[in-house]
Each structure stands twice: as structure tokens, then as C-alpha cells.
Structure 1
Amino acid sequence: MSDLPFGFGPSDRDPERRNEPGSDAGNDPFGFGALFGGGAGAGTPEELLGKMPLFAELQKLMNWSGGPVNWDLARQGAISSLAAGSQPTSDAERTAVAEALRLADLWLDQVTDLPSGVDRTLAWSRVEWLEQTLPAWGRLIDPLAERVVGAMTSALPAEAAAMAGPLAGIMGRMGGLMFGAQIGQALGRLAGEVLTSTEIGLPLAPDGAGVLVPQNVAEFAAGVDRPAEEVRLFLALREAASLRLFAHVPWLRQQLHDAVHAYARGIHVDRDAIERGITEAMGSMGGIDPSNPESIQALLGSGVLEPEETPEQQMALRRLETLLALVEGWVDAVVAAAAADRLPGHSALAETMRRRRASGGPAEQTFATLVGLELRPRRLRDAATVWGAMGQRHGTAERDRLWSHPDLLPTSDDLDEPLDFVARQGADDELRSLSADDAADRQDDDTED
């Protein structure tokens, strides 16, 4: 690291050189002359500030043009929050994770017809989990943040529209900074708690990667009073089951993303209400100065630009919550079938996981901070009842057949009466069988005629 802070040039402390002809060192002991236009190396103020490490970093943050979320800031903030607490994974931990995932796949082969979705096993540290899942978070969050920023700028009243040029640019950059800072904090907390790559209900790791975070798994095991090996195997079962679903139900990942993006597309604002709110906010803040970032930040944080949830968004949110519940419920059902007679603590661990998901966490806070979107499978118990009853009454093949097309899955209304949905599946099978028999009889009659 340089001993010259902030890029300032060294002063010339040689008294004999101070008085040399043409030397300005005596009048410029800290080398500020170039900054204010003196000397042959002078440039524009932006160029000079860009050469100073502190200002160069600030300039990078404010000039972010990679999208609606400043992901550089998000990454830096998340990693800095993890730096002191993240531990690298050991060879022993990697071996234990690989063995648990392989055994989990063997058990799952006996309770589902869906083949394995794991082609490699990984044990990630908290920082590795963060780094490796950032691309997936970007694809998921950017459309939401873009709509929020667009809604805020489009709702500016006539007074602010006169300053639209500079104000829109400042609001876009400030929005990117704010989203980046908030998401960085949330992802940092999430990386300190998450146990696998699929725990939030969406696949975040590269395709085919089965992932556990040993440091977080150890802390989780310490709080449930079960042997660490049993907890690790239980979590490996959940990870391997989730990956089977996402690997062999090709439309599922896209359906989840479409539900999130449908929510984003529904974001709009009531311009009249926003204008009234901004007018009141400007009065209380003494006006808005586009050259003052604190003034813009106060406006963004005042709540007057927050969009209201629309009926279209409520429908998208309902669809998303139902899909998440169906995924989680299926995982619960197949893990229960695979582990009930093998893991003594399965019931207690399963209930702990249900409470953990139902209470929400940093992943939910990330979306709630942005647009109020909650990633919570509220119908989890009802969905688990559907999958468990389907397996008991109709067999695993019929249970898993429902994933062959999105129209076959239970709807939110079906989850109100899950056993009725299961009973109808049997009736539908009988009707299909009778229809096939009738068609065969008619064909025989036509042949005899």
C-alpha cells in the first residue's frame, strides 16, 4: 500500500530545492497545484479526482451503468460483512458432504422415479456461496429493481420534471446505490445462515451442483440437539431431492422466474397520489436540490415513491407462493418417505425446517425491501399433504406425473381442500380408463360390422 494517502503528491522537503528557479514546491508543499489547474500534468477535475484512490472508488460507485442494481457495491458490502466470520472448507468437510449427497441419492432412488440431478458435490464457504450465487440473484432481482426505479422516475411531478435531465440521472444512480447497499446487507446475512443451494426454494447454484455450506450446517446442528452426521444427511436429502425436481421438470425454473417477473411487470404508481406526497415531502424538506445527494436520498427514503400492489401483482404473488409451496411440499414428502425409517430424528428436523421457512429470513427481506415481494410458501403444509396422500393412494409414479405439465399441478384453490384434489385424481383415472374401454368396444363393434 502506498504511503501517500488519497493520491496526493509528496512535498519537496529539500530546502535547497525549494528555492530553485521554476520550482513551486515552496508554495505548494502538498502538491495541490496540479489539482487546481497548475503544472503540465493538469487535467480536468474529473480526471484528477479519478487518480485519487478514495475519489476514484466513489466515482466508480456513482458512475455504475451495469443495470438498476449496483452489484459491485452489493458484492463488496456482503463480503465485508462476512470477512470476519467466514471459514474456508476443509478436505474432511468436502469428503463428508460428498458422502452425504451420494447416500442421499441412493435413498431417493427408492422413493421417486425422477433420476438424480446431482453430477458434482460441492462444500462451499459462506463467501463461496455468495460469489457463486450472485449471477442467479442478478437474473432474479434486476427486473424488479428496474421496474421500481422506472416507476419512481415516471411519477415525478411537474415541478421535478423541469429538472428531469439531471434529476433522472441522479435518481437512477442513487437507486442503484441504495438497492446495491440493501441487497448486499441481505445477502451477507443470508450467506451466514443458508444451508444448501436450494433452501430458498429457487435453484441458485450452477446446474447439477449439489451444495452444502458446512460452517452453517454445523451451527444449525448445534441448535437442534441431533448428531451432526444425521443433520448433514437430512440436509443432503433435501438438496438432492430439490435438484431432481429442477433438473427433470424443465419448465419449473422458468415458471418461478416468470411469476417473479410478472410481479415486477405489475409495478406502477398512482401519479396523482405520488405528486401530492412529493409536494408534501418537498415542503417538509424545504425543497429538492438535484445537486445535493442527501436531498435526493431523503426523497427516495420518504416512502412517497413506493408503488402500490395491484390486482395483477396479487395474482402473480399467489401463483409464486403456490409454486414455492408445491416444490417445498414435494421435497418434504419424498424426504419423509426416504428417511422416516432410517433417520431417528427425521420428524424433529422436518418440523424445524418448516418453522425456519415459515418465519421468513434474509432472502425474503431482500425482496420485501425492494418491492414487498415475500418468498414464503404459506401453503406448505397443505402442499405436503397433497404429495403425501398422492403417494399413499396412487403411488409415486402418479404423484410425480403431476409435474409433467403445469396445468396438472394443484392450484391455490385446490390446496384449500387437499384431500379432495387427491380423490379427484383417482376419479379422473377411472374416467380415463372407462373412456379408453368405451373406445376399444366401439372399435370392436365397427370391426364386426
Structure 2
Amino acid sequence: MQVIDWDLAVSTGTRLVRPGPQVSREEARHAVTELRTLSREAEGHVREFTRIDAATPPQPATIVDRPGWIRANVEGFRVVLEPLTQRMASRDNPPPAIVSAVGSRITGVEVGAVLAFLASRVLGQYELFLPPDPTGREPIGRLTLVAPNIVNAEREMGVHPRDFRLWVCLHEETHRVQFTGVPWLREYVRSQMTEFLLASDLDLPTLLERLRNAADTVADVVRGTGEGNLIDAIQTPEQKEILDRVTAVMTLLEGHGDFVMDAVGPTVVPSVADIRSKFSQRREGGSRLDRTVRKLLGLEMKMKQYAEGSAFVREVVGKVGMDGFNRVWTSPETLPTSDEIAAPDRWIARVVPQDQPAIPPQATDPEA
């Protein structure tokens, strides 16, 4: 049983996505080469600063255009949604074939449209869920950088291209180091995602009720009278609990990435202060339509994660040093809850031994 027509999602997304900035062949070649080089350089800076080691050797980033990012994410979605697809296929009373066919095409178009919107905005990502490699030789994750979006962003903001590219690489490489240096982290996130999907209500009456809720959410946000998003509108109570755990860990990971890129930045990115100022303004900007879509997709929550997660990491590192903070990677039990992210002292009291020496902030400040 096919829940989503993936081929249609790819064709829809690649058809709707806006073209990237106009660049010459030489400019494009230079950007791709420089991003590959800077990703290797950034990984060394990140490993040294974070003190997270990994058994896997450094790998250059995969550089893609906007259609390439869409195709890569469709492959990731297929892997993530496989447990739900298998469950639906094994039901005693599956829906008629015509219903499944029409439904999969509708969702295929919807997924493609969302990916087209995101494909012109995402600068890079660590692809955690990849189709399994039959040979077992390929890495389980892949760092992807979207070259036209990086070039477009640096042009719009008027920042130094090499500095900005290295700054972006520092953030994205932090995610690669997190997942390659913390052995249990990938499986923890995968299991939470699977649990979230399998907690869905699949009966028709409940599904219709959720869709009505989603329609109301869209209407409220478009009118400017609502603060919800589609994820909140369609999830079950059980899923809300799971999502709280997923949100906490993603807030940690995104905040850690932002903290590292700004902490390492001053030593290797001369114009980091200018970049951060302009990039923060860019994150908050956009047209009314752009802001509405971001809110519906839950992207505003992601922006909040950067700020809250970075503040948590900064306060913990400032009080107990990098080694004290790195106790967060010990096991799933040492991850902060949402409440602890808002109140870092609670996490410190629960996880860091009381005899852990306090480390002055300047001891871990690369500008010191």
C-alpha cells in the first residue's frame, strides 16, 4: 500500500520550486568546490571545540541544487514513514484500491508543494534517514549543503561569501559530529519518530475530525487570529507527549549548532558579528505570505528552538564547562526536558555531579 505517491511528490516539487540565483558556470563551480573544502575545515574546528570524537573519518559535504534537495528529502521521508506504511498495509480492512490511489496522489502533490517551499530556503542539513546501503560501506548519514540557497543568502545580506560559507558549515557540521560522535543518538531520534507515527489514529471518523481541525487552523493563521500550526492540529494526545520529547532533543541539537557556530566563529570567521546580525534579521523577515506558511508548517517553532537551545547550551557551558555540558550525550536519560531547557540549573542539578568544578565562562570563550 502506498500512502504517498513519491514520484509525484518529486515531480511536483521540482516543477514548483523557484530557480536559484543567476550565476556563471565558473561561479557555480567555485562555490561547490569551496563548500566541500570548508565543510572539511569546519568539521575539524567543531570536533576540537566540542570535544566530541567519532570513529567515522571526516567526509566532504554533498553539494546539491534545489531539485537535488527535494529528491534527497523524499528518499528520507520514505525511510521515516516505512513503519506507518507497513502498518496500514497489514490492516484487516484496508481502504479500496481507488481510495488509496487517489489519496496517495493528493498527498504526493501536497508533500511536493511543501518541499518546493522549503527547497528555496534551506541552507543545509544532516540527512539522518537514508535508504540502507546494500554494501554496508556508506555512512549512515550525510551532510548536504544547498549551494544556490547559500549563494542567494550571502548576496541578499551583502556578507563576505567565504566567511558566510564557513559559518554555515560550522552549524551543519555540528549536527554531523553530534550524530557520528554519540552512538545512541540516531537510534533514539529514529525510535521517537517511529513511535510518533504509529501513535496516529487511522480510523476515518478521527481522521476527518483532525482534517477539520487543520482547516480551522489554516483559516485562523491566514486571518492572523491564530497561533497554531498543522502539526499541532492533527496530532493525538499520545503524540503530543512524544512530540514534546522530540522537540526537546531537537531544541538541544539546533541550539548546540548555533552555539558552536557563534563560539568558534570569532577565531576563524572574521566578519561573524556582521553575519550573525544580518542573518538574525533575515530569519525574522519575509513577506506576510512567507511568514504565514512558515507558521503553518511549524517553522516558527524551529526559529524558537535555535534561540532557546543556544541559551541553554551557553548557560550550562558557562557554569560547568564543555566537559560538564557533554554529559548531555551520556544516554537518553541525560537529555534535557523542555522544562530543563527553560531552566538550565535544573538539568545541571540532575545530571552534573555536585563536585563538578565550576568553569568561568572565559575558559571556554574562543575570544578569550
Q: How does the TM-score come out when normalised to structure 1?
A: 0.60
Deviation at 1:177, TM superposition (A): 0.4
2:53 counterpart SS class: coil
Deviation at 1:317, TM superposition (A): 1.4
Deviates more, 1:210-219 or 1:349-358: 349-358
Which ranges in structure 2 are unaligned for 5 or more consecutive residues?
A: 131-138, 212-231, 358-368
Counterpart of 1:292 in structure 2 is none
After superposition, where does 1:108-123 map in structure 2 within 5 Å?
Answer: 108-115=46-53, 118-123=58-63
Structure 1 position 125 matched with structure 2 position 50: no
The structure with the largest helix share of the pair is 2
CA distance in 1, matches of 2:114, 2:199: 24
Deviation at 1:232, TM superposition (A): 0.5
8 A Cα contact 2:124 2:144, kept in partner: yes
Among residues 336, 361, 381, which one is paired with 2:307 in the alignment?
A: 381
Counterpart of 1:248 in structure 2 is 181
Counterpart of 2:16 in structure 1 is 81
Q: Which amino acid aligns with 1:75?
A: V
Counterpart of 1:102 in structure 2 is 40
Measured against aligned partners, the alpha-carbon deviations of 1:194-240 in whole angstroms (never above 9, x if no partner) come to 21133xxx636764644322211011112223111111110111121
Counterpart of 2:355 in structure 1 is 430
Deviation at 1:325, TM superposition (A): 0.3
CA distance in 2, matches of 1:210, 1:277: 35
Counterpart of 1:399 in structure 2 is 325
8 A Cα contact 1:124 1:213, kept in partner: yes
CA distance in 2, matches of 1:248, 1:410: 18
Structure 1 position 336 matched with structure 2 position 262: yes
Measured against aligned partners, the alpha-carbon deviations of 1:140-170 in whole angstroms (never above 9, x if no partner) come to 24556788x89xx99xxxxxxxxx99x7222
Against the structure 1 CA distance between its residues 252 and 425, is the aligned structure 2 distance closer, same or farther, given a 3 Å change threshold?
A: closer
8 A Cα contact 2:182 2:329, kept in partner: yes
After superposition, where does 1:182-221 map in structure 2 within 5 Å?
Answer: 182-198=110-126, 203=128, 207=140, 209-221=142-154
Counterpart of 1:135 in structure 2 is 75
Deviation at 1:275, TM superposition (A): 8.9
After superposition, where does 1:39-438 map in structure 2 within 5 Å?
Answer: 67-82=2-17, 85=20, 90-115=28-53, 118-143=58-83, 168-198=96-126, 203=128, 207=140, 209-268=142-201, 309-347=235-273, 349-350=275-276, 376=302, 378-422=304-348, 425-426=351-352, 428-430=353-355
CA distance in 2, matches of 1:277, 1:191: 27
Report how many residues are paired: 320
Deviation at 1:171, TM superposition (A): 1.6
CA distance in 2, matches of 1:358, 1:223: 14
Against the structure 1 CA distance between its residues 406 and 356, is the aligned structure 2 distance closer, same or farther, given a 3 Å change threshold?
A: farther
Q: Which amino acid aligns with 1:196?
A: G
CA distance in 2, matches of 1:121, 1:367: 30
CA distance in 2, matches of 1:358, 1:377: 9
CA distance in 2, matches of 1:354, 1:317: 26
Q: Which amino acid aligns with 1:422?
A: I
Deviation at 1:403, TM superposition (A): 0.7
1:120 counterpart SS class: coil
Q: Which amino acid aligns with 1:232?
A: R
Deviation at 1:136, TM superposition (A): 1.1
1:321 counterpart SS class: helix
Q: Which amino acid aligns with 2:124?
A: T
Against the structure 1 CA distance between its residues 272 and 238, is the aligned structure 2 distance closer, same or farther, given a 3 Å change threshold?
A: closer
Q: Which amino acid aligns with 2:12?
A: G
CA distance in 2, matches of 1:366, 1:69: 22
Deviates more, 1:68-77 or 1:383-392: 383-392
Higher RCO (C-alpha under 8 Å, 6+ residues apart):
2
CA distance in 1, matches of 2:62, 2:101: 37
CA distance in 2, matches of 1:274, 1:387: 39
Counterpart of 1:21 in structure 2 is none
Q: Which amino acid aligns with 2:109?
A: A
Deviation at 1:110, TM superposition (A): 3.0
Deviation at 1:182, TM superposition (A): 0.8
8 A Cα contact 2:63 2:146, kept in partner: yes
Structure number with greater Rg is 1
Q: Which amino acid aligns with 1:103?
A: E
Deviation at 1:393, TM superposition (A): 2.5
1:430 counterpart SS class: coil
Counterpart of 2:134 in structure 1 is none
Against the structure 1 CA distance between its residues 338 and 171, is the aligned structure 2 distance closer, same or farther, given a 3 Å change threshold?
A: same
Q: How does the TM-score come out when normalised to structure 2?
A: 0.72
Which ranges in structure 1 are unaligned for 5 or more consecutive residues?
A: 1-64, 155-163, 279-305, 433-449
Deviation at 1:355, TM superposition (A): 7.0
8 A Cα contact 2:254 2:306, kept in partner: yes
Deviation at 1:84, TM superposition (A): 5.4
CA distance in 2, matches of 1:207, 1:123: 17
CA distance in 2, matches of 1:171, 1:376: 34
